[in-house]
Amino acid sequence: MLEAMRRIIQEVNSAKNLDHALNLIVSRVKQVIKTDVCSVYLCDTPNQQIVLMATDGLQPSAVGKVRLNLTEGLIGLVTSRAEPVNLANAQSHPQFKFLPDTGEENYSGFLCVPIVHHRTVLGVISVQQVEVRTFKEDELTLLVTIAAQLAGAIAHAEAVGDINGLHQGIRHNELDRPIKGLSGSAGVAIGCSIVVYPPADLEAVPVRKTDKPETEVKVFLKAIKATKKELTDLKERVTHLPEEDQALFAAYLLMLESKTLVSKTLERIHQGYWASSALKDTVLEHINLFSSMEDDYLRERAQDIRDLGRRILMHIQSGSKGAKTYHKQTILVGHEVTAADLMDVPESKLVGLVSSTGSGSSHVAILARALGVPAVMGAIDLPINQLDSKTLVVDGYQGNIYIEPSPRVMEEFSQIIQEENELSAELRVLKSLPSITPDGVHIPLFVNSGLLSDLPASQNSGAEGIGLYRTEFPFMTRDRFPSEDEQCKIYRQILKSFEPNPVTLRTLDIGGDKNLAYFPISEENPFLGWRGIRISLDHPDIFITQLKAMMLASDGLDNLNILLPMITSVTEVHESLKYIHKVHEELIEDGYKNICMPKVGAMIEVPSAVYQIDRIVKLVDFVSIGTNDLVQYILAVDRNNSNVADLYDNLHPSVIQAVKQIIQSASKNNVSVSVCGEMAGDPACALLLLGMGADMLSMSVVSLLKIKWVIRSFSYAHAKQLLEEVELLEDGVSVRKHLNDALSEAGLGGLIRPGKR
Ligand code: PEP
Ligand code: MG
**119-150 residues labelled b (16+ CB within 10 A) or e (exposed):** eebbbbbbbbbeeebebeeebbebbbbbbebb
Residue 436: pLDDT above 80? yes
The catalytic position among 38, 488, 676, 685 is: 676
Our mutation pick for probing the ligand 1 site, out of 509, 534, 659, counting the most ligand atoms within 8 A of Cβ, is 509
Closest CA to 661 of 642, 639, 634, 699: 634
CA–centroid distance, 683 to ligand 2, in Å, is: 20
Instruction: Check: CB of residue 187 under 8 Å from CB of residue 348.
Output: no
627 alpha carbon, closest ligand: 1
The closest-lying atom of ligand 1 relative to the alpha carbon of residue 605 is 2
- Angle at CA of residue 331, ends 326 and 335, nearest 5°: 105
The closest-lying atom of ligand 1 relative to the alpha carbon of residue 360 is 8
β-partners of residue 191 are 392
675 alpha carbon, closest ligand: 1
Taking ligand 2, which is a single-atom ion, which protein residues have CB atoms under 5 Å away?
A: 605, 626, 629
What one-character DSSP code corresponds to residue 216? Answer: H
Element (H, E) at 699: strand 696-699
Mean residue pLDDT of the chain comes to 90
Please give the torsion angle defined by the CA atoms of residues 631, 636, 641 and 645, in that order, rounded to the nearest 10 degrees. Answer: -60
Our mutation pick for probing the ligand 1 site, out of 603, 625, 685, counting the most ligand atoms within 8 A of Cβ, is 603
Closest CA to 280 of 347, 353, 363, 223: 223
pLDDT tier at 606, thresholds 50, 70, 90: very high
**Cα four-point dihedral sign 121, 125, 131, 137:** negative
Which residue lies with its CA nearest to atom 1 of ligand 1? 626
The catalytic position among 156, 172, 363, 652 is: 363
**More confident call, 29 vs 289:** 29
DSSP states along 157-190: HHHTT--TTSSTT--GGGT-PPEE-EEEE-SEEE
pLDDT for res 395? 95
pLDDT for res 168? 62
pTM over 0.85: no
Which range of 18-22, 201-205, 371-375, 736-740 scores highest in mean pLDDT? It is: 736-740
CA–centroid distance, 704 to ligand 1, in Å, is: 17
- Which residues, at least 6 apart from 450, have a Cβ–Cβ distance to it below 8 Å? 366, 370, 469, 470, 471, 472, 473
pLDDT for res 748? 95
Our mutation pick for probing the ligand 1 site, out of 363, 567, 629, counting the most ligand atoms within 8 A of Cβ, is 629
Which residue lies with its CA nearest to atom 8 of ligand 1? 628
CA–centroid distance, 676 to ligand 2, in Å, is: 9
Do 202-319 and 435-751 share a fold? no
Q: What CATH number labels 435-751?
A: 3.20.20.60
- Among 63-72, 362-371, 656-665, 718-727, the range scoring the smallest mean pLDDT is 362-371
Question: Residues with beta carbon inside 6 Å of ligand 1?
Answer: 361, 468, 470, 509, 605, 626-629, 676-677
pLDDT for res 644? 86
C-alpha to C-alpha distance for 476 and 132, rounded to whole angstroms: 64
- Tens of pLDDT, residues 145-159: 989 988 877 877 777
C-alpha to C-alpha distance for 624 and 504, rounded to whole angstroms: 10
C-alpha to C-alpha distance for 194 and 332, rounded to whole angstroms: 5
At residue 662, φ and ψ (nearest 5 deg) are -65, -50
Integer CA distances (angstroms), 85 to 120, 134, 240, 386, in order: 18, 10, 63, 35
C-alpha to C-alpha distance for 33 and 1, rounded to whole angstroms: 9
Residue 357: pLDDT above 90? no
**CATH fourth-level superfamily of 2-173:** GAF domain (3.30.450.40)
Residue 286: pLDDT above 50? yes
Which residue lies with its CA nearest to atom 4 of ligand 1? 626
640 alpha carbon, closest ligand: 1
C-alpha to C-alpha distance for 730 and 654, rounded to whole angstroms: 10
CA–centroid distance, 392 to ligand 1, in Å, is: 29
Residues in the chain: 757
**CATH class as words, domain 187-197+325-408:** alpha beta
Q: Verify whether residue 112 is a known catalytic residue.
A: no
CA–centroid distance, 629 to ligand 1, in Å, is: 6
In the chain, what are the domain boundaries?
A: 2-173, 187-197+325-408, 202-319, 435-751
**More confident call, 2 vs 400:** 400
CA–centroid distance, 625 to ligand 2, in Å, is: 9
CA–centroid distance, 282 to ligand 2, in Å, is: 46
Q: What CATH number labels 202-319?
A: 1.10.274.10
Q: Verify whether residue 156 is a known catalytic residue.
A: no
SS (H, E, C) 122-156: EEEEEEEECCCCCCCHHHHHHHHHHHHHHHHHHHH
Tell me the mean pLDDT in the region 7-22: 77
Instruction: Check: CB of residue 511 under 8 Å from CB of residue 529.
Output: yes
Closest CA to 153 of 281, 20, 54: 20
C-alpha to C-alpha distance for 364 and 294, rounded to whole angstroms: 44
The closest-lying atom of ligand 1 relative to the alpha carbon of residue 565 is 6
Our mutation pick for probing the ligand 1 site, out of 515, 605, 634, counting the most ligand atoms within 8 A of Cβ, is 605
pLDDT for res 320? 63
β-partners of residue 69 are 49
CA–centroid distance, 677 to ligand 1, in Å, is: 5
Pairing state between β 350-355 and 445-449? unpaired
The closest-lying atom of ligand 1 relative to the alpha carbon of residue 509 is 9
Residue 481: pLDDT above 80? yes
- Tens of pLDDT, residues 173-227: 556 778 889 989 989 999 999 999 887 788 888 888 888 899 999 999 999 998 8
Pairing state between β 599-604 and 622-625? parallel
Residue 477: pLDDT above 80? no
